[in-house]
Structure formats: C-alpha cells, structure tokens
Amino acid sequence: MNLPRHALQALEIDRVTQARVSDDYYIHINRQIPQWNIGVSSMLANAIGIAPFKDVFWSNQYQPGAPYKTTAHEVLPDREILISTLSTGPVAFGNGINYGDKERIMRCCRQDGLILKPTKPLTMIDLAISDWALHHGVIQGELYSTKTIINNEIFSFIFASSMKRNYSIVPSMIRSSNGILWSFDNPYKINYFDENHSLEISNKICNLTSFCLWYSSPIWSFNDSVSSKYSFMGEINKWTFISQQRFPSLYTNADNTQMTIVVQGVANEIVEVLVYHSKFQSIIHVNCHFYIDHLIAQLIINSTNVICL
C-alpha cells in the first residue's frame, strides 16, 4: 500500500493517475485477512485526484498451481471484483491462464473491455466513520457508498459487508436523491428511498462471508394527464448500473413528455436496461443492439412506451 507521503509526492508528478490503497492480496487468500476494505484509504486518493487501486484478485475461489499453501482461496470473488470496479481504479484479475471467470469479469466493463465506473470512488459513509468514536475505535462494518452523476441527476450505490451492527440509511446520509431502491440480486423488487423510507441494513445478512449491494435512482414525472412516473434503472448485468462510459447524457424535451438517454456500445454488443414505469405498474426490460455502423443508441421513454432506437 502507498503511504500518505507517497500519495502527496504524486501531486508533483502528472503521470501518476492511480495508487494502490490496499494491503497485498496475498494476506487475504493465504491468511483470510480482509484487504478489500478500502473505504477509508480511498478517501485520500480521491481527495488528491488519484484513482484508488485495490490490487489484484482471483475471479474464482481456487487457482490450481498457485504458488501458495494449499489452503489459499478466495472466499468471495464477486466482492473482490465489485470493489475493484467501483474503486474507479484498474480492475486487475490475477488468475492463472484458463482459470479466469469470464462472466464475473465482464460485469465490470463493456464488451470491448472499457471499465464502467461511477463518478467517484466507493468510500465509507460518514455515519460508519463517526461510529468508531462511539465504539472505542472498533469499526462496526464496511458500509460504503458512491454515485454516478449524469446531467446533474444522481444515481447512488450502497455497499455493506462484515457488518457488526444494523444500520438505517436515508438519502441525506449519502448525499443521494430521493427515488427508488433495489438490490443487485433482485432488481424486480423496488422500494421507495427517501427521508421517510429508509434502507435497513442487517448485520446478519451483510456479514463477513457475504455482501449486500443496493442501487438508487431518481423518480421523475411526465407532464401528462396522470403525471406518469418513471425511473431509469440502468444495466441489469453490470456492477456499475449507471456509468458515464455507457450513458453519457440524458435529457427531457421542452414539454416534459419524453426522456432520451444516450447509450454507447460496441459492435455486436447487446445492452440490457431496466426502466420502471407507473403506467405499466412494472419494470420494463429493454435491449439496445449495437452494430458496426450503429454504436450510439437512444433509449426513449415517454408516457406510453419505452424503446431503444
């Protein structure tokens, strides 16, 4: 891990764009000492404009032929790649040849390998930090948040793992917008997320050998006869459900009867997106197709339809 003096020295070196903010991955797979918990160390890197790097990871639980003792293993590969992706730094899988998990790895990026990142790194929320003082310097869990901002609209992420106590989170605690909330593993079950509807985080569910991930998106209303409500829920199969690399802009027309979301892809890629729409009282699954002569699409949402052109 880089020491603070190394990070500050980087301010004088323009070529430095990233810095490792974790311990060696070796201690994690060999001694089962967490090194993915970079929620605090990432704060310094982000404050000086450097992307945090989590170090390498295994995308599978075991790696045959690895030069470590036979008990070396990765407890939770998904947690490793999730943290790496939302760190905004490099995503470095350290698998042996033919031992990588392609499906897991591709959740971090487009089909051409471009990493899909949030606007800022995943960092510990203020409440979790202040709890250290209230519990005699003992951390109460790894409770992080980040966001993607597109045209001033905020799309939020909340991550929890190794929790020692329960938490109740509302948007103001993470500087998020009010809207809807859903978990990564069940996007078809949505809840309101505002100052009167909190996210309840359980230490029994989000424990040392598991993790929890939630997404939040604003709710907008059209200027139609019934004020139809809708929410853009992003990509269904990527860790970064909304990213500027995939969705560079979104805008509504002058009459506020239609939203257009620009979608970028690569040839032969299919981008699967979700939209909540009150008219249909359901979540709509839409595919955006990309071809060699069609690398930018438009997701059109209006009071009666959702379509990708």
Query: What pLDDT does 133 receive?
Result: 85
User: ∠ at Cα 79 (38, 71), nearest 5°?
Assistant: 100
- 129 three-state secondary structure: helix
Please report, in tens digits, the pLDDT of each residue of the chain (309 residues total).
Answer: 778 888 888 888 989 999 999 999 988 888 888 999 999 999 999 999 999 999 999 999 988 888 887 788 899 999 999 999 999 999 999 998 898 999 999 999 999 999 999 999 999 999 999 998 898 888 999 999 999 999 999 999 999 999 999 999 999 999 999 999 999 999 999 999 999 999 999 999 999 999 999 999 999 999 998 999 999 999 999 999 999 999 999 999 999 999 999 999 999 999 999 999 999 889 999 999 999 999 999 999 999 999 999
DSSP 119: S
Please list the alpha-helical segments (H only) found in the chain: 4-9, 25-31, 41-47, 77-86, 102-105, 126-134
- 60 three-state secondary structure: coil
Do the Cβ atoms of 187 and 274 come closer than 8 Å? yes
Comparing CA positions, the residue from 214, 215, 291, 220 lying closest to residue 260 is 220
Query: What pLDDT does 40 receive?
Result: 95
Residue 271 — left, alpha, or beta (φ > 0 → left; ψ -120 to 50 → alpha)?
beta
Query: What pLDDT does 65 receive?
Result: 83
Query: What pLDDT does 2 receive?
Result: 75
Do the Cβ atoms of 172 and 195 come closer than 8 Å? yes
Query: What pLDDT does 63 receive?
Result: 87
